[in-house]
Structure 1
Amino acid sequence: MGYGLAIIGYGGMGGWHHASIRERLPEITVKGAYDIRPEARNRAEEEGLKAYQSLEELLSDASVEIVTIAVPNNFHKDYAIACLRAGKNVVCEKPVTMNAKELEEVIAVSRQTGRLFTVHQNRRWDRDYRIIKKIIEEKTIGIPYFIESRVQGSRGSLHGWRGHQINGGGMLLDWGVHLLDQLLDLLPAKVVSVSAHLDSVFSDEVDDNLKVFLQFENNVSALVEVSTNCFINLPRWHLSCTDGTAVVEDWECHGKIVKLAENADQMTWEDEIVYTAAGPTRTMAPRPVHTTQTLELPEVHPDWAEYYQNIAAVLEHKDEPIVRPEQCLRVMKLIDTIFASQKGDGVAKCLI
């Protein structure tokens, strides 16, 4: 069965949705796009789409079953509610709303209307993330106790509306929402405390660099870092587990696993002081080489097209949504807590 889709907001992400769906998803046809900017509507027409002149025209198009919302963040809630009430199923770009309260309103309307509402948390399909997920799920290096997740750039600028507070700009709502969604997808245990530092190094309105430390109920800790002014990057992922360490260096997924060798618990060696350039140490002396083994990162082959394929399957009552609004509500509650912590010392107790 095929589905018609229309896009609200035909900027960078709106155009990306169109091109990606057209190339990869024959079960979904992009019918048209609505944008308040005439130049964006003209571009949609040039790319073979119907350019709706108003939201009402789009919502009255009976050939459209799905609407993808790709506008500045502060408009997400109102557009989502209007589409749901018009009988459309809704895909909303992230961050889903400006805060948890707004999302609760949207979820309520979705339940009232019986229409699907989901969020484009596409980075659950990133290869680097799926590698870490596989290592944890298969207990390749034992039980995790500390996870570091970073994205770092050096341009020092926020593009367009992402630099404005009124639009829900800033790195926590732009990239932080992705990294937090990935972490909460990895770890079902509740977050019990947050320690956050949001910097505005170059922006007068929003955060452009951030570090967030999370403590989970199962004693796992995590560090999330987003930087727009880093000239020497740290690894994309650094995973500490009871039996070893895994590193994913970058989006190209360079990296490795170093873990205890088989029968390492039965091995013995001299526990002697090692003399280094910084002086003598026993605790920080390197392990004997024969007690560890180095592995390549596991192969994974995620396919972003699964996101929209899942939506089609949900509409046909063949599957459950992969990205559920309740999951996104958990992320938004965490983001609300992080922002609220900045009014004090950056530390907050929670149960999310």
Structure 2
Amino acid sequence: MPHLTPPVNAAIVGYRMGATHAELIHLVDDLQVTAICDTDPERRDAARDQLGDITTYADVEEVAADAGIQLVVVVTPHSAHLPCALRCLRAGKHVVVEKPMALSIAECTAMIEAAQEAGVTLSVFHNRRWDGVFTTARQVIRDGYIGDVFHVETHFGGYRPPSRTWRGDKEISGGLFYDWGAHMVDWTLGLLEGRRMVSVSGRFQKRVWHEASNEDHVEAFIRFDDGAVAHVQVSQIAAAGKPRFYVLGTEGALVDNWAGHVDVSARVGSHTATFNVDYDESDWPAYYKGLADHLVNDAPNPVTPESARRVICVFELAERSSQDGGEQPVPHE
């Protein structure tokens, strides 16, 4: 597919969080930010101050019409991911979308189909696939210390009010799962790599923070084709903590308590050996290095849209289950 001549010219749509993307792109020789798009004139001014000689736009239509832009990075509120991505894909631009990819399975599929029709790359910025805690836990599993994984629990939470920004507005954000839940579900699926999801069920609760439309507590239960199961919980009414990862295997277990290391229990004969493994160093720039290699040298897409759609499948089906009851079959697996 792509074999672009470097440096690849990138535009960032949405500069509030987009500033972080600009910093990461700056670290990659084969990519350069040449344009910023934001509806807020103050953020456009900030982009010029921070990035120097760049073009600024107030409308994504201007980005789509700029023939010099080859890559567009969409870092808008979640409800704007679909229209911005579709407009740029259909204009022949390669597109990166911030996670979560979109608000629904159908929106994800529409993006994937638009990229295929245009013959361009669509990728999703699941940068926390390069977080040290995840890469460490995954390597322990790959190295066979705990045997075949059959049960995974992941948790993120605390007792605090929701954001007063658009992130607390379900119509724009998608709901509580669509913030840190994007990381937790993606990590869960990564710890159970190679398995196919069969069904999802869920429970969504609204009990305390009625000033915001997001849920207070959400959880998803995922069943896989080999019988493995996973439970993902995100809460803003959890007054007591839980491990971030609790993983059971046929020959041991792995637990992460946010402590800078994972705790491993491995069966050795009739005994259990316990030891700690320090987190790897996180490497967020690896995403854009991988993307550049893909666009210039046709290396693999660092995060395929199909893999990112799996996260949205869990969100949507868990909510549907909470409303209707019962397990929901998983499409596109």
Task: Extract unaligned runs of 5+ from structure 1.
Answer: 265-290
2:253 corresponds to which letter in structure 1?
Answer: T
Q: Report whether the alignment pairs 1:15 with 2:15.
A: no
Query: Of 298, 304, 311, which residue of structure 2 is paired with 1:324?
Result: 304
Query: Of 323, 329, 332, which residue of structure 2 is paired with 1:350?
Result: 329
Task: Give the match for residue 219 of structure 2.
Answer: 211
Q: Report whether the alignment pairs 1:129 with 2:134.
A: yes
Task: Give the match for residue 161 of structure 2.
Answer: 156
Across the aligned residues of Structure 1 and Structure 2, the Cα RMSD in angstroms comes to: 2.0
Q: Helix, strand or coil for the counterpart of 1:36?
A: coil
| Aligned mates of 1:299, 1:76 — CA distance in 2 | 32
Query: Of 229, 232, 248, which residue of structure 1 is paired with 2:237?
Result: 229
| Aligned mates of 1:297, 1:154 — CA distance in 2 | 29
Q: Helix, strand or coil for the counterpart of 1:225?
A: strand
Residues 175-208 of structure 1 show CA distances to partners (whole Å, capped at 9, x for unaligned) of 2222222222333322233331212231442223
Task: Tell me whether 76-85 or 293-302 shows the greater mean CA deviation.
Answer: 293-302
Query: Of 62, 87, 91, which residue of structure 2 is paired with 1:82?
Result: 87
Residues 52-105 of structure 1 show CA distances to partners (whole Å, capped at 9, x for unaligned) of 233233233333211100111111111111111222110001121111111211
Query: Of 38, 42, 56, which residue of structure 2 is paired with 1:35?
Result: 38
1:158/1:170 contact within 8 Å kept: no
Q: Offset of 1:302 from its aligned partner?
A: 4.6
Task: Give the match for residue 66 of structure 2.
Answer: 61
| Aligned mates of 1:82, 1:175 — CA distance in 2 | 27
Q: Helix, strand or coil for the counterpart of 2:323?
A: coil
Task: Give the match for residue 190 of structure 1.
Answer: 196
| Aligned mates of 1:90, 1:206 — CA distance in 2 | 28
1:244 corresponds to which letter in structure 2?
Answer: G
2:201/2:222 contact within 8 Å kept: yes
The number of residue pairs the alignment matches comes to: 321
Answer 1 or 2: higher relative contact order, Cα 8 Å, separation at least 6. Answer: 2
Task: Give the match for residue 265 of structure 2.
Answer: 258
2:79/2:173 contact within 8 Å kept: yes
Q: Report whether the alignment pairs 1:26 with 2:5.
A: no
| Aligned mates of 1:67, 1:39 — CA distance in 2 | 21
1:76 corresponds to which letter in structure 2?
Answer: H
Q: Offset of 1:8 from its aligned partner?
A: 0.5
Task: Give the match for residue 267 of structure 1.
Answer: none
* Structure number with bigger Rg: 1
Residues 146-170 of structure 1 show CA distances to partners (whole Å, capped at 9, x for unaligned) of 1111112333222411111221332
1:145/1:220 contact within 8 Å kept: yes
Q: Offset of 1:340 from its aligned partner?
A: 1.0
| Aligned mates of 2:297, 2:164 — CA distance in 1 | 39
Q: Helix, strand or coil for the counterpart of 2:277?
A: coil
| Aligned mates of 1:169, 1:178 — CA distance in 2 | 15
Identity %: 29
Q: Helix, strand or coil for the counterpart of 2:79?
A: helix
2:247 corresponds to which letter in structure 1?
Answer: L
TM-score under structure 1 length normalisation:
0.85
Q: Helix, strand or coil for the counterpart of 2:263?
A: strand
2:61/2:87 contact within 8 Å kept: no
Task: Give the match for residue 247 of structure 1.
Answer: 255
Query: Of 258, 273, 288, which residue of structure 2 is paired with 1:308?
Result: 288
| Aligned mates of 1:193, 1:87 — CA distance in 2 | 36
Task: Give the match for residue 98 of structure 2.
Answer: 93
Q: Report whether the alignment pairs 1:174 with 2:158.
A: no
- Runs of 4 or more, structure 1, over 4 Å off, are none
Q: Offset of 1:299 from its aligned partner?
A: 5.6
| Aligned mates of 1:194, 1:84 — CA distance in 2 | 31
Task: Extract unaligned runs of 5+ from structure 2.
Answer: 1-5
1:73/1:98 contact within 8 Å kept: yes
Q: Helix, strand or coil for the counterpart of 1:115?
A: coil
Q: Report whether the alignment pairs 1:73 with 2:78.
A: yes
| Aligned mates of 1:328, 1:216 — CA distance in 2 | 17
Task: Give the match for residue 3 of structure 2.
Answer: none
2:261/2:279 contact within 8 Å kept: no
